[in-house]
Structure 1
């Protein structure tokens, strides 16, 4: 996809060896970074990409995400043991899950799609893919029939996101993409253009949309098909800066930034993805159950600065009622929420109820100045997650 992104005006950045479009420069705008501690030269262009997905439609080239094919007679058993969520679903369903270590910490943050009875596709972030691949292979017993293959290079991936995404995609395929026929969490191979892609109704930006896994040999054709049909609709290419601002408004986590192997799902606000009573349990269940019984004294909290001007980066100190209680993990400007938005870890002196972490006077220190901030354990944007399911 590099050539297509470059032709569309991409200003590239690097992530784990991948050259990726961070933002797209309109015609006549220099394709360069002019660095600043304030609003940089790409700010307004990334804002336009952000708003395109919130209000209309955009396409993000997410080909750098890792893909592993897990298959064999015991593939379901291995993945069930490793995953905190229940991945033993019907075929053509996607499940968001964490893989835990024996101490209950998050070793990986992935999605698992069941392709058939004995075949699964696991998607992982580019920064963690090799780590996740090695971790999963270590969990396979000598007597288990299960193989794990890196198939990242066989497929490009395009995330078609926004409230108008169905309007774009439906005329291009014979598959019924209605909410009733293709609900959130479904994955299926569909025709598109002159080929077939795997479309999954899921989101990392908090809007209606489909992730398209595209065979490498037709990736340029699928890009052209989307943008030719999308031109009258105002379709825009969208970079990773905007993807980051979109996911932070929705409170979506990123392993290595917001969560790690020292953090458990209860502290990270991911308890909804833990299926405690699934048959066979999962690695780390006992430690996680003990942590639940002991209570939580640290949590990952979403913040929004009340002053719309300052820019948060990451690692800024967090104060509650004048006392330093934590740090910002990741941040970006939230163009829909109207201020810098962040995920940050907050520590209490001992186990506290959920409400404690949202109460109090919060401030985040930026270059020596403390700026008031609003705290929430629920996503500030679309807290009921209704938009992706529309």
Structure 2
């Protein structure tokens, strides 16, 4: 499928969906005129889509949703680069908007306080995020915190993170400013229009039905906030968000603020150690608390605007203030700010807003109902950034930012139950201000998804973390004796969390003997039908026209050449393929494009996989089968359907750890028998079970990329170091874009100079060798890039970090990685770092 003159899109992939009857100006209906709906109308009309109708059930400009009560604090820094980019654009845009001479953003800055050593360390880590994502910020002393916020008790403060470009979004003003701009371009905003139904035809959106009439549409965007599940049910679409109530209170006038005339002059303040935040309201202080128990709200029970007013509610999103929940937080406020010790609360309410199971927005077009889009679970902080991304997605066919963390397809079926959404959404509320480790799993509901080997893994003392609902062993206590005699550097307390020195022993055993790895959570798709080969060959970048038995590493690209995913494609028969994929989005993308003679099925849950890797892998597997598993008969990147003992398997000679071995697939019902067969046969060879911690170390020693972490659709194959998977002598999606693909940056391997030093990922990287001539003329002291994946390379005796850095950095160049405020020296290395001639895999 080559790109077409139609703005680089193909007829069957028309995500912007201009219908044949309205090819130039699609009719768009946006449900919800809060900050997201108004921002989206502004972004769409700015791009020429002027036939936009925004429907709102409440009165404008304050319709009664979350926007109407939002306190407006905008802290841009986040562990998520995507959320940080959303917030940066929101600040940039709102600073440029004003209504009646009043700016829509009060850039007073932000200040996050630490009253414990753990929180102070966390602020250094957050300062690293800020630097990595291009946000100004610095960790400051307690005395400086007192200067910035004179009302705090300096004696209890250890330091703070000051971010001068953060501040207060005037959400209703920003909504009005964008409403007016969009209206000038042709959009219309209709208040008091309650949506009662969604009309569809042949799997596409047709119209939105309201109590005031029906509105035909080529696209409908649900930006209804906590009413999103209600709109979704009308469309037949699950919207995985949970509304929760959050306490906010204002004090009576404080003498210490004097006769203040400005809305706010001090930075917005976070006291995350006690789940609190503060902002000024002229001579009063506004206080928000996440310290109370989660207060979930049924979105189907939230009252319409007029009914809420009739019951003495200020708005549907404002619930009565619960004094019993507030009492402990009020004591914490008084402890931090002595001026509050004699103060009283004047008003308070419990404001409703949305949480998802992973705390991220829900964005994108539904596959089940084409033309129906979600822009849900979006806070004011990210509103304009989300709107820009969704508008780009609709108009241009793809957003300029990587949105895989926000894609509505990201949740597994097992993660979409109402119970799961409620439980995990509530936990997200509890953890808003918690210090969370990047490997820290959610606690409940677990276990949810387990492989057939789970019982055996428990017997071996597996330490499980969780991903995609799956229980994933990271190391096994049974291997603890193997650590004796190993020289394993001690770790700092942070990097030692969710880690064990046993991982080093498991990595060593894989390099020297043989290990079993549970690869069941990796997604598997089956693609069949007479058109399967042609379809997959034009959808992916590498050549798949190979004989049955071939396995190919290839890429899913978008029309601009960005890496949507990387795949392994095994041709098992002329018209049957098994694909190793990354996420539900891969299934969604392929299904959207598949012609009628191709069937695609997710077979992950009904199958399982064991990776058997190590120099003794052949010694383990060969006696179990009559087929020849020699290198000559069963070469690298080949597949074979056979039997191991009593178990039918699909064996693929692949290795993600850089050692001889196979991925062995069978049905879930035979998985335990496969494990036991391999385990028993491997006892004389010293076989062990090994976990994800060792796996990640071994794959980085070989330089194998992890999609979604090391590379996304923001990167092209040549930047990411996977250009070898591109065949430019054939046509495929994104082919034309690669002719002029830039390579100004590269995914670069780094080795930390200190054998005892460790980083974990997302740290800023400074490259002093580039001087002030760095990209964009950035001054010395500005990060040159950021770390993606990092792990200790136990074979190499150094921590490995992959980072996005300017392409001109050459092997041997010195850089520094900032880790908790300390700049750790590292050196650009040449890859692959381990076994560059691939002799260990091909033997």
Q: 808, 825, 834: which one pairs with 1:372?
A: 825
Counterpart check, 1:222 vs 2:222: no
* 4+ aligned runs moved over 4 Å, structure 1: none
- Pick aligned residue for 1:288 from 738, 760, 768: 738
TM-superposed CA distance for 1:377, in Å, is: 4.6
Q: Is the aligned partner of 1:337 residue 2:796?
A: yes
3-state SS of the aligned residue for 1:311? coil
Match of 2:837 among 380, 384, 387: 384
C-alpha spacing 1:241/1:37, structure 2 compared with 1 (3 Å): same
Tell me the alpha carbon deviations over residues 42-94 of structure 1, each in whole angstroms, 9 at most, x when there is no partner.
Answer: 43111111111111110000101111110111111110111100112100111
In structure 2, the partner of 1:206 is 658
1:43 alignment partner, SS class = coil
Matched, 1:37 2:490: no
CA deviation profile, 1:145-174 (whole Å, cap 9, x unmatched): 101011112211000001110111111111
**In the alignment, what sits opposite 2:283?**
none
Q: 2:591 aligns with which of 124, 137, 141?
A: 137
- Take 1:274 and 1:376, find their aligned partners in 2: how far apart are those partners? 24
Query: What secondary structure sits across from 1:213 in the alignment?
Result: strand
Q: Aligned equivalents of 1:138 and 1:80: distance in 2?
A: 16
Measured after TM superposition, the shift of residue 365 of structure 1 is 1.8
Looking at both structures, which has the greater relative contact order when contacts are Cα pairs under 8 Å and sequence separation is at least 6? 1
Question: CA separation of 1:388/1:27 partners in 2, compared to 1, >3 Å: closer, same or farther?
Answer: closer
| 42-51 or 98-107: bigger deviation | 42-51
Provide the C-alpha distance between the structure 2 equivalents of 1:195 and 1:98, rounded to a whole number of angstroms: 32
Q: Distance in 2 between matches of 1:8 and 1:138?
A: 43
Q: Are the aligned partners of 2:495 and 2:760 in contact in 1 as well (CA < 8 Å)?
A: no
Cα-to-partner distance string for 1:21-45 (whole Å, 9 max, x where unaligned): 111113899xxxx993143474311
C-alpha separation in 1, matches of 2:818 and 2:799: 13
- Contact residue 522 and residue 581 of structure 2 kept, 8 A: yes
Go from structure 1 to structure 2 and tell me whether the alpha carbon gap of 1:245 and 1:28 turns closer, same or farther (over 3 Å shift): closer
What is the match of residue 397 of structure 2?
none
Per-residue deviation at 1:363? Answer: 2.0
CA–CA separation in structure 2 for the residues paired with 1:357 and 1:106: 24
Deviations, residues 337-382 of structure 1 (Å, cap 9, x unaligned) = 101111110035xxx5xxx443532222222222221213521111
- Kept after mapping to 1: 8 A contact 2:814/2:828: no
For 2:805, what is the secondary structure of its paired residue? strand
Alignment partners' CA distance in 2, 1:147 and 1:28: 46
RMSD after superposition: 1.8
Q: Alignment partner of 2:804: what SS?
A: strand
| Correspondence for 2:558 | 101
Q: Which residue of structure 2 lines up, in the alignment, with residue 302 of structure 1?
A: 749
CA gap 1:27/1:132 in 2 versus in 1, 3 angstroms = closer
In structure 2, the gaps of 5 or more residues are 1-452, 482-490, 770-779
Q: CA deviation at 1:383?
A: 1.6
Contact residue 75 and residue 146 of structure 1 kept, 8 A = yes
Q: Which residue of 1 aligns with 2:524?
A: 67
Contact kept? 2:475, 2:500, Cα under 8 Å: no
Q: Which residue of 2 aligns with 1:80?
A: 537
Is the Cα contact below 8 Å between 1:317 and 1:328 reproduced in 2? yes
Shift of residue 258 of structure 1? 0.3
Is the contact made by 2:563 and 2:713 (CA closer than 8 Å) also made in structure 1?
yes
Is residue 358–residue 377 contact of structure 1 (8 Å, CA) maintained in 2? yes
Q: Tell me, in whole angstroms, the C-alpha distance in 2 between the residues paired with 1:190 and 1:51.
A: 30
Identify which of 36, 41, 49 aligns with 2:506.
49
Distance across 2 between alignment mates of 1:48 and 1:40? 17
- Tell me, in whole angstroms, the C-alpha distance in 2 between the residues paired with 1:41 and 1:274: 37
Q: For 1:12, which of 464, 468, 491 is the aligned residue?
A: 464
- The 8 Å contact of residues 38 and 310 in structure 1, kept in 2 or not, is answered as no
* Aligned-partner Cα distance in 2 for 1:45–1:261: 35
Q: How many residues align?
A: 370
Judge conservation of contact 2:566–2:581 (CA < 8 Å) in 1.
yes
SS of the counterpart of 1:267? Answer: helix
Counterpart Cα distance in 2 of 1:116 and 1:98: 21
Conservation of the 8 A alpha-carbon contact between 1:108 and 1:255: yes
Q: 1:337 to 1:70 in 2, by over 3 A?
A: same
> TM-score by structure 1 length?
0.91
CA contact (8 A) 1:267 1:299 kept: yes
Q: Would the aligned equivalents of 1:329 and 1:342 in 2 still touch at CA under 8 Å?
A: yes
Say which structure is richer in strand: 1
Contact 1:39-1:311 at 8 Å conserved across structures? no
Of Structure 1 and Structure 2, which has the larger fraction of its residues in helix? 2
> What residue ranges of structure 1 are gaps of 5+ in the alignment?
none
Q: Give the conservation status (yes or no) of the 8 Å contact 2:640–2:652.
A: yes
Shift of 1:201: 0.6
Residue pair 1:321, 1:360 contacting (<8 A) in 2 also: no
Once residues 609 and 842 of structure 2 are traced to their aligned partners in structure 1, the CA distance between those partners, rounded to angstroms, is: 21
In 1, distance between residues paired with 2:680 and 2:456? 13
Match of 1:263 among 689, 711, 715: 715
1:275 and 2:727 equivalent?
yes
**Cα distance in structure 2, aligned partners of 1:139 and 1:41:** 40
User: How do 1:356-371 residues align onto structure 2 when only pairs under 5 Å count?
Assistant: 356-371=809-824
